[in-house]
Structure 1
Amino acid sequence: MEKGRILIVEDDPSYVKLYRNALGTSGYAIEVAREPSAGLRALRERTPDLVLLDLTFDGTPQGGLGFISGALQDRTDLSIIIISAQSDSAMINKAIELGAVDYIVKDHSLYELLPFRINQALKRMRLEKLIQTQIDLHNGFVFGPGRVIVGKSSKMYQVYALIEKVAWSRSTVLILGESGTGKELVAQAIHARKGPDTPFISIDCGSVPETVLESELFGVKARYPGFHNREPLIGKMEAAKEGTFLLDEIGNMSIGLQAKLLRVLEERKFRPLGGEELPLRAQVISSTNIDFKTAIQSGRFREDLYYRLNEVRIVLPPLRDRLEDVPLLARHLLDQLRSQTGRAVEILPQALDKLMAYDWPGNVRELDKTLQRALMACQSQYLAPKHIDLSLSGGKAQQPEAAGDTTKDEAESFHPATVGNYKKMVREYQKTLLRSALELADGNQSEAARLLGLNRTHLIRLLGRHDLTKSGDME
């Protein structure tokens, strides 16, 4: 059974033979192009899953680098692995910046290493396609029956990629974000990949008194002085077993207990009060909305513990930074309310405009409560602006910015309520942002990606989606 189609772009026959020998027994269908231009033609005529690319042709890397840019303009989802004798870090960085997914130096280990790296790249590509399909279908990241993190903005795509990255590891994860952004939901999404039989245990470090928190974390042996317990008290760390242990609002933990937690994380062992040491087998995830820099400088949080918790950091954007997700979230939350109350309402475009013009200091949680109040105020099947009361919140409506010579009439002509097509409006706005970034960067896609806060590969995919790839990369 064919495992995948691989295009080899290589001008050295001896390496072509090596690649065929290394991959031929692995079930891959292989095609060879002797130069970059032939490789680009092969890409247009057929659809390989992955490209193995030598970087140097005719003594210069320009041909190989040009192939990366040209190939990703035609196939934004293509995986390209560089195989080159050049081990210069600047060249490796250049290739990765242009969009290559991996870089392998030609040395004695190439024959054994190549099948593994190709298999990993293809697995990652297929997983990304599956996630993208799920996001398109469900308007967000699905992690179980009826469980979804709603959002299709670029910042949420970054969150989804990190969830997948850490879900299959035992890395310690730190989730940062304002109150109401969904930090526990992300922790649950990470945990979901472990399977239904592994426990998810959480504790709110801010709501449990300091004198009780230690015993809650580590447990207590039977008949320990001061506890009057005939049986051992099982701590959260032990109860988590091989699953996930969430330390919610860890920024509220006392300095003294922080020192004990640091030792547990370093040694992967803990000791119940009065008991014997036990192994820590769960993946530890922490979450908080505090500013760690300020907390460390003020002495409220240990710097060494922060670095121990921060093996992988996931930052959840506030809702005001992803307003394009508000309509998706509103419809999702209304669907949930319908299942709870039996009431089905349709939210009018003008009502969505009002929601999108607000800055949501309480984030998704505030949006949820606002829609609950609106549903109680609405007596018809249509949710209108008058039903949405934002006066109980501390936020404010966002004011449109003056932009050059744009007149009031022009601004009104592009108002969402007038256009009446939210998806089309978001596409046009996204396309305008991409064009503006490319103009500011003089066509340099790496610089445009930096200006937009995206990685370059994601930018290239967006450019392809909006048919803007002809702008090129004029580095």
Structure 2
Amino acid sequence: MSTVLVIDNDPMVLHTFERGFEDQGIIVQTARGGASGIEAFRKSPEAYLGVLVDFDMPEMKGDEVVRRLKEMNPDTRVIMVSGYDDPEIIRVCIEAGADQFIVKKTDVDNVVHEAMNTLACICTPEMNEGERTDFHAAKIKRILNMAGRSRSLAGVADLVEKYSTYSSTVLIQGESGSGKEGVARAIHANSGRKGKFVAINCGAIPKDLLESEMFGHERGSFTGATTHKIGQFEEAKNGTIFLDEIGDMPLELQVKLLRTLQEKTIQPVGGKPKKIDFRVVTATNKDLKAAVLKGQFRGDLLYRIKVMTIEIPPLRERPEDIEPLVLHFIRKLESETGQRRKISDAAMRKIKAQQWPGNVRGLETTLERAFALSKT
């Protein structure tokens, strides 16, 4: 049977969780306090299906416990439990390495149920290499709706699944063509938000039009404003707005964006402020910390947009994903054109040997060209 380690300073809570998990057929080992939990885990870091950690323990906060556990075994699924639904606590815990954050309810069965859902999606030590690959591929497809089978892309899927539960801002970092917008769409799709996903490329819209495009404008607010225009933030009401290449946003507009994030309001050009519910996901291929030092990006805005971060590895660092991507793109082209194509083993080896500086987008473009030029 599988074993879960529960770490809490309250013996009544430990007993309640023990009973709840055992009703689900899970063996529970309990530890009173962070130090005891770390010591128990150190003796056998591979033995546990997962670990539940209470955040608010007197002698050692839960985020520090999580950090220590992850140092001993990064693959262990750690679930943070807290009585407070505080965005700052959530951010600290996830940065420490927590895989899930559950708010304690009066009904402990609810916490056990949520924890069981998280623990059910674990790549266990008993899996062989083929099973692990299949597990990663299924996770990537289910969460990201992408083709791939690498452990690193499965890790991105794990973060998307975690972050989609909350409304905090997310910063996605990665090279051009690595799939940042696809990850942003996955965050929205897994979030349960009822509104639309709206994308803006901050580097593709002329500087003098970007503010109006983002926030809208009132009729007569400037020369040429002959009608009322709804901005993209308002279009994303109750949904997600994706600000791609945010590092290209003009400094003067960064000030307005900062105010929008702080106050959860938008102000159309020439109009009055409006309260709007939205979630912001941003992306960049730039080093924003370096941009801050150069005076090209506001430090306070960077702090606001990087509450949660996702780094997408370039395709050259995850070669396991190339073959499933090739097959996916070929099937897509076959569906669009009604034509059939075969790819030889030699051609696949040649594709895998490339560095792909354009990443996934570069691979797709190359395959489209080859598909059009080939006859079989």
> Does the alignment reach a TM-score above 0.5?
yes
Does the 8 A contact of 2:215 with 2:267 survive in 1?
yes
Structure 2 residue 120 is matched with structure 1 residue 126: yes
Match of 1:87 among 30, 50, 59: 59
**For residues 365 and 104 of structure 1, what CA distance do their matches in structure 2 show?**
40
What is the RMSD computed on CA atoms of the aligned residues?
A: 3.8
**For residues 365 and 152 of structure 1, what CA distance do their matches in structure 2 show?**
18
SS in 2 for 1:332: helix
1:193 — aligned with what? 190
**For residues 14 and 37 of structure 2, what CA distance do their matches in structure 1 show?**
20
**For residues 196 and 69 of structure 1, what CA distance do their matches in structure 2 show?**
37
Q: 1:8 to 1:304 in 2, by over 3 A?
A: closer
Q: 1:68 to 1:114 in 2, by over 3 A?
A: farther
How far 1:251 sits from its partner (Å)?
A: 1.2
Q: 1:63 to 1:21 in 2, by over 3 A?
A: closer
Cα offsets for 1:326-350 (capped at 9, x unmatched) = 1111111111111112222232222
Does the 8 A contact of 1:68 with 1:100 survive in 2?
no
Does the 8 A contact of 1:219 with 1:235 survive in 2?
yes
Q: 1:22 to 1:152 in 2, by over 3 A?
A: closer
Does the 8 A contact of 2:2 with 2:27 survive in 1?
yes
How far 1:62 sits from its partner (Å)?
A: 9.0
Q: 1:357 to 1:304 in 2, by over 3 A?
A: same
How far 1:283 sits from its partner (Å)?
A: 0.5
Aligned residue identity for 1:174? L
Q: 1:234 to 1:133 in 2, by over 3 A?
A: farther
Cα offsets for 1:168-224 (capped at 9, x unmatched) = 211111111111111111111111124585211111111111111111111112333
Matches within 5 A, 1:155-234: 155-195=152-192, 197-229=194-226, 231-234=227-230
Aligned residue identity for 1:244? T
Q: 1:307 to 1:294 in 2, by over 3 A?
A: same
Residue identity over aligned pairs, in percent, reads: 33
**For residues 240 and 6 of structure 2, what CA distance do their matches in structure 1 show?**
44
SS in 1 for 2:280: strand
**For residues 122 and 36 of structure 2, what CA distance do their matches in structure 1 show?**
33
**For residues 242 and 111 of structure 1, what CA distance do their matches in structure 2 show?**
26
Aligned residues between the structures: 338
Aligned residue identity for 1:288? T
How far 1:138 sits from its partner (Å)?
A: 4.9
2:127 — aligned with what? none
Does the 8 A contact of 1:54 with 1:64 survive in 2?
yes
Does the 8 A contact of 2:341 with 2:375 survive in 1?
no
Structure 2 residue 350 is matched with structure 1 residue 354: yes
Match of 2:298 among 296, 302, 315: 302
Structure 2 residue 301 is matched with structure 1 residue 325: no
Aligned residue identity for 1:339? S
Q: 1:66 to 1:174 in 2, by over 3 A?
A: closer
**For residues 97 and 157 of structure 1, what CA distance do their matches in structure 2 show?**
20
**For residues 234 and 36 of structure 2, what CA distance do their matches in structure 1 show?**
58
Aligned residue identity for 1:184? E
How far 1:23 sits from its partner (Å)?
A: 6.7
Cα offsets for 1:91-135 (capped at 9, x unmatched) = 775445444725789xxxx99696565344223223557xx9996
Does the 8 A contact of 2:178 with 2:313 survive in 1?
yes
Structure 1 portions without partners, runs of 5+: 31-46, 73-77, 381-475
Does the 8 A contact of 2:172 with 2:180 survive in 1?
yes
2:288 — aligned with what? 292
How far 1:366 sits from its partner (Å)?
A: 1.0
How far 1:152 sits from its partner (Å)?
A: 1.6
Q: Which has the larger radius of gyration?
A: 1
TM-score of the aligned structures, taking structure 1 as reference length = 0.62
Q: Which has the higher contact order (CA 8 A, sep 6+)?
A: 2
**For residues 79 and 122 of structure 1, what CA distance do their matches in structure 2 show?**
10
Does the 8 A contact of 1:176 with 1:288 survive in 2?
yes
**For residues 326 and 315 of structure 1, what CA distance do their matches in structure 2 show?**
18
Does the 8 A contact of 1:249 with 1:286 survive in 2?
yes
Matches within 5 A, 1:23-38: 29-30=22-23
Does the 8 A contact of 1:216 with 1:236 survive in 2?
yes
SS in 2 for 1:101: strand
Match of 1:71 among 34, 40, 47: 47
